[in-house]
Structure 1
Amino acid sequence: MPNDLPIRKIIHVDMDAFYASVEQMDFPELKGKALAVGGSEKRGVVAAASYEARKFGVRSAMSGMQAKRNCPELIFVPPRFDRYKEISKKVRAIFYDYTDLVEPLSLDEAYLDVTENKKGNPSASLIAQEIRERIFKEVGLTASAGISINKFVAKIASDYNKPNGQKTVNPEDVLDFLKVLDIRKFHGVGKVTADKMYQLGIFTGEDLKLRSLDYLEQHFGKSGSYYYYLVRGIHNSEVKPNRIRKSLAAERTFNENLSSEIFMLEKLEKIAKEVAKRLDQSKVAGKTVTLKIKYSDFTLQTRSKTLPYFVNNKEIILETAKDLLYQEKMSNSVRLLGISMSNLNTEDNKAAHANHLKQTVNVQLKFGF
């Protein structure tokens, strides 16, 4: 690794099948069963699947109908987000015992920068192990972890020994680790980009590293330089404890497709109420209202309007969503409606940890992974 790069000790902690595991913990009769949180046998989308269900190919974002076809014995349970948030807070409290540099990505995963930590422990691997043991003992759930020099490698590593395991990629092993990695595993490489890379003969990190910076920029534009440095282990994205929430949303999938705008308005009122509630809980307001419409043929459409002022009021959100609904005629019956608020009045506060993140540490120093 280049000596002039900031070397950090980053842990990515990922709870194992979080929503499903909470349900199995709270309801012992569900333990060992193929379980899907969200969706249903007829409608909806799976939010999470237990490991027993994953053996049958059931995955999050899969339609309930497809999940049931894959696993006829699948049990569907409705999500309980208040409960998941309660458990998530307990897990994060454990993180903060070790460092204040915690960047939550969602309720079930987070990055931790333990380069300097409250325990004075030089080993990021031992810290990760201790955190996982405490989560199991104090919360009752298992978690997996990845440990490395940056967020990118740590996140990939956390998938290697799931569930209830961890993997450390030491500084001297990063390049070899990335060399054999399928390019689909690279953060920022989606399906379209992966297909394009495959057409160019780029299948692994080794293939990617053979391409010059000019070549990658020629074929992938500004993202080309990102890929060029990423495969060389250079990813300087900092752990940001004050991550800015960029949007807030709520949506509903209906048991029956809706073709009447009158019925849609009834649903929109409930969705607007939920969005307003979430804005209030997060103590934020937004200017841009976006209406999400998924038709019965699964085509997706969004319509947005930016207001001249910040709002978190249900009535204003609802009236704006109504305007968007009437903006143009529906092209088909509707299976899902959603409302999101963006352009929020949040502020980025990086000053608290700026000095810490400016540090540059030579790889040859006792890194203690």
Structure 2
Amino acid sequence: MTDAAVLDEDHPTASDQPLLRAHKRKRLILLLGVGLIAIAACWWIGSTLVAVDSESTGDAYTNVEVSQVTPLVGGPVKRVLVVDSQPIHAGDLLVELDDTDLRLAVDQAQAALGRARRQVRQVRENDANLAGQEDVREADQATARADLLRARADLDKAVLDEQRRQRLAGPGAISQEELSDSQTAVRVAQSAVSQAMARIAAARAGRASAGGARRANQALFDDATIETNPEVLAAQAGLNQARINLARAVIRAPVDGVIDQRRVAVGQRVQQGVPVMIVVPVENIYVEANFKEVQLSRVRLGQPVRITSDLYGSDVVYRGRVTGFAGGTGSAFAVLPAQNATGNWIKVVQRLPVRIQLNPAELKAHPLRVGLSMHAAIDISGAH
């Protein structure tokens, strides 16, 4: 039998079967080797010519700055008009509080404002009364001066009379009683002078007191009208605050978005400053991609990013841009930092969050929610 007969595949004999199987195995091994070489070549071309111009990570998630809905006044809840996952617009009514106490506060503030206006008018009218009192004290002072002049004149006359009687008493022309009367008259006149001087001092002090009281009263309304008086302004501010508090009994949405984490119910008494729900502005969602530190040497602000989500798969591609880098790695702000002073520290490649802004039109066409897994690839071909 010749070799040609042995290798004739069209008409193999039983003795030719082992040779044919070995030949087929060699062909399969050859094809497999060629395929592996082709795959390796494609991987090398992609890693050296394509991947070098991009940095990618699957450690990326959607995020957003949520808006807290916080009551600015406390009170019982009368109505709740939203539920979790409900889309809302800025200004929509979310919660309404019972405003009975707040309306009473407005009424009290209005009464306080009216009382302040009347008090200011009373103070202005008191100025005329105090001016009259000042004039009366001035007249008293003038009267006291006149009394002093008269008392001094009486004293001078009494002294002259006493001196004449002293001269007449020597030769016995008058009695001792008349001399004593003249001396008494001198002392009475001196006392009258002292009293007049005291009345002048009292009148002067009274006028000064009346002037001080008037100036103090004028200080309450000088350089101001009734409406611009500090007391009225303070009462008006109290009324404005009461009206603002009344308006705050109606809680509205601060931004467009979706309601989440609602923690309020009808009949509950909410406290000022305690959040009752959040609004997630889904139209402002961005991607926070955690790149390894060794990937960021050529990453710059403004570089384009190709993003896909696990929600829609690779068929939906978002095109974003790098807009910021975090101030530190995740481990740097952890409760237990990675650094260890005992010497048992093991170096681990750190990841730095990179903020990526999405295209609003693409985000509107394919909405996302916070916390979804994303894949981000930054084009660094233009970096130097």
TM (norm. structure 1) is 0.21
- Answer with 1 or 2: which has the greater Rg: 2
Bigger share in helix: 2
